[in-house]
A and B are shown apart, each in its own frame.
Chain A
Amino acid sequence: MTIKLLAASLMTLMLATLPAHAAEESATLAKIAERGEITVGHRDGAVPFSYYDDQQKPIGYAMDICARVVDAVKAKLGKPDLKVSYMPVTGTTRIPLLVNGTIDMECGTTTNNVERQKQVTFSTTNFVAGIRILSKKSAPVASMADAKGKTVVTLSGTTSVKLINAANTAENLGLTILSAKDLAEGMLTLETDRAVALIFDDVSIAGAAATSKAPQDYQMSSDPLSVEPYGIMLRRDDDGFKSLVNGTIEGLYKGGEINGIYEKWFTQPIPPKGINMNFPMSAQLKKVIANPTDDPNPDLYR
């Protein structure tokens, strides 16, 4: 009994001193504590990672993981009633808004790579995607070479832009490359035949096709053109916050909770239309879960 009491009072003491402590080790946590609010950046059409349900509320796999992070922040700061606000971002706005302090973390489909690490940093990898090509069955595009001389669309500010440009130059394809501002606009461009192919991360284009008007009209190329490790995007030079985020994610991996979250979004019907992604966990992601890492090097994930 006394031990329990002692432990409880110790806990209270710890919690009471933590905010001040947190402020010392993390600018982000200090800011959250000071404002009593944490802002989560999310995408508006990245099914099933981060998108709107029919009440226009952001939901998804990445949002679920971020919800755990938010819980951890609440516990760490001892503020169970911390206000959580959500803010939609795009490929264009996500990095500037994170750097300029508008959002505290970005939960979507952002690839962890070396170039981005110059301005931001990433949590432990929480998904591994690959870039593939989505096209209409009536005009199939199985490889970049098939699109020679035609118009393709991708999402602005993503790793795909770089990949397509590199292939375009290397293979002299003469592509016209459109940059849509989000997945919905990219899918719209393919749907309305403004482009013959949508080139982007496989899991996202599979989601876009599955939720489109006529899913059976589309096909996806079989071989991925790259490896894209996703992570929660965070501000640089804030190890205190980063280790809190990584600790939370690794906790989900160790306890196996991640499997439930994964199944909820990838192998079961999801809102708003009850579509099933049918996207079982890849060997690459299983490897990450067994040995968590936040390394941007794609070769480690192959």
Chain B
Amino acid sequence: MNYHWNWWIFFEPSLDGTNTYLTTLFWGLGWTAATAVVGFTIALVLGSVVGVARTAPIGWVQTSGMVFVEVFRNIPLLVQMFLWYFVLPEVLPRDAGMWLKQFPNAQFYTAAVCLGFYHAARMAEVVRAGLLSLSRGQKMAGQALGLTLPQTYRYVLLPVAYRIVVPAITSEFLSCTKNTSVGIAIGLVELTGTARAMQENTFQVFEAFAAATVLYLALNMVIVFAMRSVEKAAVIPGLGNRIAGRGR
């Protein structure tokens, strides 16, 4: 094998002349984490709204919730990324489009919003499953107490539903973190992107990707440990039917 190994490459200065390649990899890790956190926050909020909409006893609200989920679930993430990045500014009025394009860090915001909508569709299904797993009596009891429908959701249904679906939220968050790498296609310099750039400039393919692999594993472990404590705190004694995620 005429591959030329060089593990010292991480300590050599990268292209910007000041940072080492190792530092740039950590910057990439930082962008990955930031994109995942912002994206997943959007997904949680939007996903809850849509998830509630899908269980609401109002026809058109249910339908629009369903349309949202089907649209964002059935188009590949990469295609959605292109739609947000290349197509959206073209269909907006010219000034608004230009404003979007000149936005500083446009790749980051685009990727975060895109991931937010993509995972919102999946979070909506999780929230819906949580709500549907509650017994009908909960809702009836809430309304018998004189709560309005929004109040019933806010004070009775959602708090319990969220606590049931924490494991599913964990796996969605993990999957959202991994999906930030799709941002590479619109120029987001997250972890995979920095590893790729390092590979292109040093030609040390396997060292660069090995480092990225280790960093992803570490990030994964941090998330799993953090979420495990959340899961412990959220567990409801006696309510066994927790909904686990199948995220990716």
Partner-B contacts on A (CB < 8 A):
91-92, 95-96, 99, 115-116, 118-120, 153, 156-157, 161-162, 165-166, 168-170, 176, 178-181, 188-189, 192-194, 235-237
Q: Which 7 A-B residue pairs are closest in the complex by CB-CB distance?
A: A157-B200, A165-B15, A119-B203, A178-B187, A169-B17, A96-B205, A193-B101
In contact, B200 and A156 (Cβ under 8 angstroms): yes
In contact, A96 and B199 (Cβ under 8 angstroms): yes
CB < 8 Å neighbour of B101 from A156, A180, A194, A237: A194
Number of B residues near A (Cβ < 8 Å) is 28
In contact, A92 and B196 (Cβ under 8 angstroms): yes
Partner-A contacts on B (CB < 8 A):
2-4, 15-18, 85-86, 89-90, 98, 101-102, 104-107, 185, 187, 196-197, 199-203, 205
Smallest beta-carbon distance B28→chain A, Å = 13
Smallest beta-carbon distance A8→chain B, Å = 39
Smallest beta-carbon distance A296→chain B, Å = 14
Cα(A237)–Cα(B105), bound, Å: 44
In contact, B102 and A236 (Cβ under 8 angstroms): no
Cα(A91)–Cα(B197), bound, Å: 10
In contact, B98 and A193 (Cβ under 8 angstroms): yes
Smallest beta-carbon distance A198→chain B, Å = 13
Q: A95-B200, A169-B17 are in contact. List 13 more A-B contacts (CB 8 A).
A: A92-B196, A115-B202, A115-B203, A118-B203, A157-B197, A161-B201, A162-B15, A166-B15, A168-B16, A169-B16, A193-B98, A193-B102, A194-B85
Residues on the A chain within 8 Å of B4, using CB: 118-119
Smallest beta-carbon distance A287→chain B, Å = 29
The verdict on A192 contacting B90 (CB below 8 Å), with A169-B17, A237-B2 known, is: yes
In contact, A236 and B101 (Cβ under 8 angstroms): no
In contact, A91 and B200 (Cβ under 8 angstroms): yes
Closest B residue to A196 using CB positions: B102
CB < 8 Å neighbour of B17 from A166, A193, A237: A166
User: Could you count the A-B residue pairs with CB atoms below 8 Å apart for me: how many are there?
Assistant: 71
In contact, B197 and A192 (Cβ under 8 angstroms): no
Smallest beta-carbon distance B189→chain A, Å = 8
Residues on the B chain within 8 Å of A180, using CB: 187
Cα(A153)–Cα(B85), bound, Å: 15
In contact, B16 and A165 (Cβ under 8 angstroms): yes
In contact, B101 and A192 (Cβ under 8 angstroms): yes
Closest A residue to B87 using CB positions: A192
In contact, B16 and A188 (Cβ under 8 angstroms): no
Cα(A165)–Cα(B197), bound, Å: 12
Closest B residue to A119 using CB positions: B203
In contact, B200 and A161 (Cβ under 8 angstroms): yes
In contact, B205 and A176 (Cβ under 8 angstroms): no
In contact, A99 and B3 (Cβ under 8 angstroms): yes
Residues on the A chain within 8 Å of B86, using CB: 188, 192
In contact, B2 and A235 (Cβ under 8 angstroms): yes
Closest B residue to A237 using CB positions: B2
Smallest beta-carbon distance B227→chain A, Å = 33
Cα(A192)–Cα(B89), bound, Å: 9
Residues on the A chain within 8 Å of B203, using CB: 95-96, 99, 115-116, 118-120
Residues on the A chain within 8 Å of B18, using CB: 169
Residues on the A chain within 8 Å of B196, using CB: 92, 156
Smallest beta-carbon distance A147→chain B, Å = 13
19 contacts between A and B (CB under 8 A): A91-B200, A96-B205, A99-B2, A99-B3, A99-B203, A119-B3, A119-B4, A156-B197, A157-B197, A157-B201, A165-B15, A165-B17, A166-B15, A168-B16, A180-B187, A192-B89, A192-B101, A235-B2, A236-B2
Residues on the B chain within 8 Å of A176, using CB: 104-105
Residues on the B chain within 8 Å of A115, using CB: 201-203
Residues on the A chain within 8 Å of B107, using CB: 178
Cα(A116)–Cα(B203), bound, Å: 7
Closest A residue to B90 using CB positions: A192
CB < 8 Å neighbour of A179 from B16, B98, B102, B197: B197
Q: Which residue among B90, B106, B185, B205 has the maximum number of chain A CB atoms within 10 Å of its CB?
A: B205
Cα(A116)–Cα(B205), bound, Å: 13
Cα(A192)–Cα(B197), bound, Å: 24
Closest B residue to A158 using CB positions: B200
In contact, B187 and A179 (Cβ under 8 angstroms): yes
Smallest beta-carbon distance A56→chain B, Å = 21
Closest A residue to B19 using CB positions: A169
Closest A residue to B101 using CB positions: A193
Residues on the B chain within 8 Å of A153, using CB: 187
Smallest beta-carbon distance A173→chain B, Å = 11
Residues on the B chain within 8 Å of A237, using CB: 2
Cα(A194)–Cα(B89), bound, Å: 10
Closest A residue to B102 using CB positions: A193
In contact, A161 and B101 (Cβ under 8 angstroms): no
Closest A residue to B107 using CB positions: A178
Smallest beta-carbon distance B199→chain A, Å = 7
